[in-house]
């Protein structure tokens, strides 16, 4: 049952997710980094993906994701309290799909029998707003001419769309440190992704000699800004916008620090369900 009135919200069941990262990660200024494998609450997850052939659909039962307890009805992110030791941005997203860990080496990996994540998009059919991200699971080494391209089926079920080889300026090893995330642009006219079809790596000279990465499909839920050390804020439902959360959503947090440390951060996220 959807929450369609203030009384629905007041009377809804509420769960507070506690997300805490107790140690820092070296980051790059103004770049998103994954903290999935950093110890805290819930316990650390594992960065490296477990399938490059088909990928997996992570859930709240995946180590590193907070368990979600409502079993029926619709859930909504109704409030987020957050704070960090560094000026930064924090993001919460539902990790819909994860494939990896792919090797740094040049080549094309075609996926098949990919599991569907339709149950984790609104209405089962609205893939708009979903995003493709690269997540470095093993730091890269040596090279300075590395790119990645992902082909996908778009939100309207058109196959063969491509992100193109990204980024425009090839990456060096120093730009592919562990945890770094890179959002890949969708093709012109596209607004979401139903399925990852293939992953294409270009490893030009000077070539990388180590490194691994995942390909993720994320549905963004929330972002917040910490303007200074030990800053943060409280976002009620008027500021979260009540994005839908499913009872098996794999909620992850990411950080975009102003400087070169992720800081340690805490997030209390309320899920209201009815």
Partner 1 sequence: MAITTLADIQSGTRQYVDIVKGSLSATTAYASLWATGLGAGSLAIGNTANGLVPTNATAGAAPLNSFSGDGYITNVVVNSTTVTWTYDPSIILIYDRIFHAGSFAATVGVNSLSSQPSFSSRVPGGNYSGLQIWAEMASAKTGSSSVRVKYTNQDGTTGQVSPTVSAPANGIAHCIQIPYVSGDSGVQAIEEFEVTAQSSGCTWNVFVARPIMMINTLGSRFSRERIHGFASSFGPRIYSDSCLACLSKGIPSDSTTPPLSLSMTIVSK
Binding site for partner 1 (CB under 8 A): 6-7, 10-11, 13-18, 20, 22, 39-46, 63-64, 66-67, 69, 78-79, 81-83, 85, 227-239, 266, 268, 270, 272
In the complex with partner 1, which residue's Cβ is closer, 11 or 160? 11
Shortest separation between residue 242's beta carbon and partner 1, angstroms: 11
At closest approach, how far in Å is the CB of 38 from partner 1?
A: 9
Cβ closer to partner 1: 153 or 214? Answer: 214
Give the single-character DSSP code of 174. Answer: G
Cα dihedral 208, 212, 218, 222, rounded to 10, equals: -80
d(CA 135, CA 155): 22
Nearer to partner 1, 156 or 233 (CB): 233
In terms of C-beta density within 10 A (0-12 exposed, 13-18 middle, 19 or more buried), how is residue 6 classed?
exposed
Our CB check for partner 1 shows the closer of 16 and 110 to be: 16
Which residue in this structure is represented by tokens 């209405």?
123
Going from the C-alpha of 192 to that of each of 92, 169, 175, 178, the distances in angstroms are 18, 24, 26, 26
Q: How far is the CB of 34 from partner 1 (least distance, A)?
A: 15
Q: How far is the CB of 225 from partner 1 (least distance, A)?
A: 11
User: 3-state class of 256 per DSSP?
Assistant: strand
Nearer to partner 1, 88 or 130 (CB): 88
Residue 142, burial from CB neighbour count under 10 angstroms (0-12, 13-18, 19+):
middle
Shortest separation between residue 31's beta carbon and partner 1, angstroms? 23
């Amino acid at each position: 049952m959807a929450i369609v009135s203030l009384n629905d919200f007041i009377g809804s069941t509420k769960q507070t997710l506690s997300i805490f990262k107790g140690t820092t990660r070296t980051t790059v200024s103004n770049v998103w980094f994954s903290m999935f494998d950093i110890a805290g609450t819930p316990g650390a997850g594992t960065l490296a993906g477990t399938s490059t052939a088909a990928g997996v659909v992570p859930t709240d039962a995946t180590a590193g994701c907070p368990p979600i307890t409502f079993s029926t009805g619709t859930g909504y992110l109704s409030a987020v309290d957050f704070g960090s030791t560094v000026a930064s941005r924090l993001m919460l997203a539902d990790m819909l799909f994860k494939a990896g860990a792919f090797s740094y080496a040049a080549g094309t990996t075609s996926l098949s029998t990919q599991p569907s994540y339709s149950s984790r998009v609104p209405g089962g059919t609205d893939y708009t707003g979903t995003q493709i991200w690269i997540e470095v699971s093993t730091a890269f080494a040596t090279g300075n001419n590395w790119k990645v391209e992902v082909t996908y089926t778009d939100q309207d079920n058109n196959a063969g769309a491509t992100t193109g080889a990204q980024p425009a300026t090839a990456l060096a090893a120093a730009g592919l440190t562990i945890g770094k995330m890179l959002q890949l642009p969708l093709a012109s006219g596209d607004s979401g992704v139903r399925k990852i079809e293939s992953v294409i790596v270009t490893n030009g000279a000077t070539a990388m000699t180590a490194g691994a990465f995942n390909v993720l499909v994320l549905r963004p839920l929330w972002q917040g800004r910490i303007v200074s050390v030990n800053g943060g804020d409280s976002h009620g439902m008027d500021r979260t916008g009540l994005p839908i959360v499913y009872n098996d959503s794999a909620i992850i947090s990411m950080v975009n620090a102003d400087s070169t440390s992720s800081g340690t951060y805490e997030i209390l996220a309320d899920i209201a369900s009815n």
